[in-house]
A and B are shown apart, each in its own frame.
Chain A
Amino acid sequence: MEMTPTEYSLTRPSSLIAEVTHRCPLHCLYCSNPIELKRSDNELATEDWVRVFKQAAELGVLHLHLTGGEPLARPDLAQLIASGRAAGLYVNMITSGIGLTEKRLAELVEAGLEHIQLSFQDVEEASANHIAGTRAHAHKLALIPIIRKFPIALTLNLVIHRQNIDRLESFIQMAEQFAPERLEIAHVQYYGWALKNRELLMPTQDQVERSVVIVEAAKERLKGRIKLESVFPDYFGSYPKACVGGWGRQILLIDPIGQALPCHAAAVIPEMRFDTVRERSLAWIWRESAAFNRFRGDAWMSETCKTCPRKERDFGGCRCQAFQLTGDANAIDSVCTLSPDHTLMAQLRTKISEPLPIWRG
């Protein structure tokens, strides 16, 4: 079925990802933030975010995800949460936990925080601190029982890669003791610093296969108690995923300086022009912004995708990855076996070496 950009834009975005700052006390080797971080003196002000949250709710957004960088680095975080709730949004915060104390958390919950997603680097302390480039692990662990005192949902998140994937089972065992509502096991995605460190992070085929078995068993065992969600690693798949639920279909991301992106990595694609919430309303951006319309529909697709029934499910896969791997943002996602560049994936998978780590600045 042919769908034009306008028809797509009639669907409403369900999530607003608010990167409220790029500042962060950690230096994760796998951080997906852009290498060129946005300077803090140019960050959106409190009142800009308040306006954006209101417009988001009017546009039909349900969930607000406060992230960054480290959202706790914003002194006005409680105000941001309160305004998100006042607008009618479900408010989640994604955090490293650095900067969180029981007192601060009480303020945030009082302001209306409903869900907190705490990310870990490993189950083993030395390795976790090495990956984070910061001694953060012990603090994160100590935070869990504090968070559990509050009536909010908790997700524990672990990004897995070659350096920590062999301890996945012990991580899950550690995590389940705290009975979080959700556990999120995400294979690293190669953007930002993760792309720089790809050779260090790329798991072996064997590691990936073992991780799938562990995750599936844990899902079954924890069913009804802890919702385990996992993202299968792209590089090992045969068909692409619907990246961000399809370009410009579900997600609206606002970066720290107010630019609206269809996906957190969209800026890697050349000639992208992002509109800013300083000048435009979210409704206008969702409908009209060239960045959002660029990969909606199928006009941009190769003939292979255009005539493929899977396009209704994967919407052509990931544009950022297609560009990063082939140099052409319109190319078939190389994860797809029908891509002429699919053999690239095999090469990247098998090239296992131990290069030096590059920590996020």
Chain B
Amino acid sequence: MSEEVKSIGIDSTPRLMVGSRLHPTENLLLVPEGALQLSGPAKDILAMVDGKRTVSVIVDELLAQYAGAERHEIQQDVLALLGRMQQRGVIRG
């Protein structure tokens, strides 16, 4: 990856790429020339990626939603998902 792209950490406030949005009903992220299939909690996570919430706030809210889950596991999942999406250019840090 190019050096100018900073990787996402717990204090980052990631946002979706301009011109991308979640499909209202299906598990898809619509991007300018296509759609990314989302699985598991990815849609719930991305719904909170708004350029305002930090990753740790997103994790807090997920903890409230998914009772019984471990914080560090959720955090790991969120960072992994955002990292993958950033690689594809659809999430900006």
Q: Which residues of A contact B (CB under 8 A)?
A: 14, 62-63, 88, 90, 92, 114-115, 151-155, 181-182, 220-227, 229
In-complex Cβ contact of A62 among B5, B17, B19, B23 (8 A): B23
> Contact at A153–B18, with CB atoms within 8 Å?
yes
CB distance from B90 to the nearest CB of A (A): 9
- When the two chains form their complex, are residues A224 and B32 in contact, meaning their CB atoms are under 8 A apart? no
Instruction: Say whether, besides A62-B28, A229-B33, A151 and B4 are in contact (CB < 8 Å).
Output: no
| B43 on the A face (CB < 8 A) | no
Tell me if B86 is interfacial: C-beta within 8 Å of chain A. yes
> Once the chains bind, are A225 and B4 in contact (CB under 8 Å)?
yes
Q: Is the pair B17, A153 in contact by a Cβ cutoff of 8 Å?
A: yes
Min CB distance A245 to B, Å, is 11
How many Å lie between the Cα of A14 and that of B33 in the bound state?
10
In the assembled complex, the Cα of A225 lies from the Cα of B92 at a distance in Å of 8
B2 x A182 contact (CB < 8 A): no
Q: Is the CB of B18 within 8 A of A182?
A: no
Which residues of A lie under 8 Å from residue B27 when comparing CB positions?
Answer: none
Would B20 and A153 count as touching, CB distance under 8 A?
Answer: yes
Cα A182 to Cα B17 in complex, Å, equals 11
Q: Is B57 an interface residue (CB 8 A)?
A: no
Bound CA–CA A220/B31 (angstroms): 20
For residue A7, give the distance in angstroms from its CB to the closest CB of chain B. Answer: 21
CB nearest neighbor in A for B19: A153
Q: When the two chains form their complex, are residues B89 and A227 in contact, meaning their CB atoms are under 8 A apart?
A: yes
Find out whether the CB atom of A88 lies under 8 angstroms from the CB atom of B24. yes
- Measured between beta carbons, the chain B residues less than 8 angstroms from A152 are 18-19
A189 to B68 CA separation, bound complex (whole angstroms): 56
Chain B stretch 52-93: residues in CB contact (< 8 A) with chain A = 86-87, 89
User: In the complex where A90-B30, A155-B32, A182-B32 touch, is A224 in contact with B20 (Cβ < 8 A)?
Assistant: no
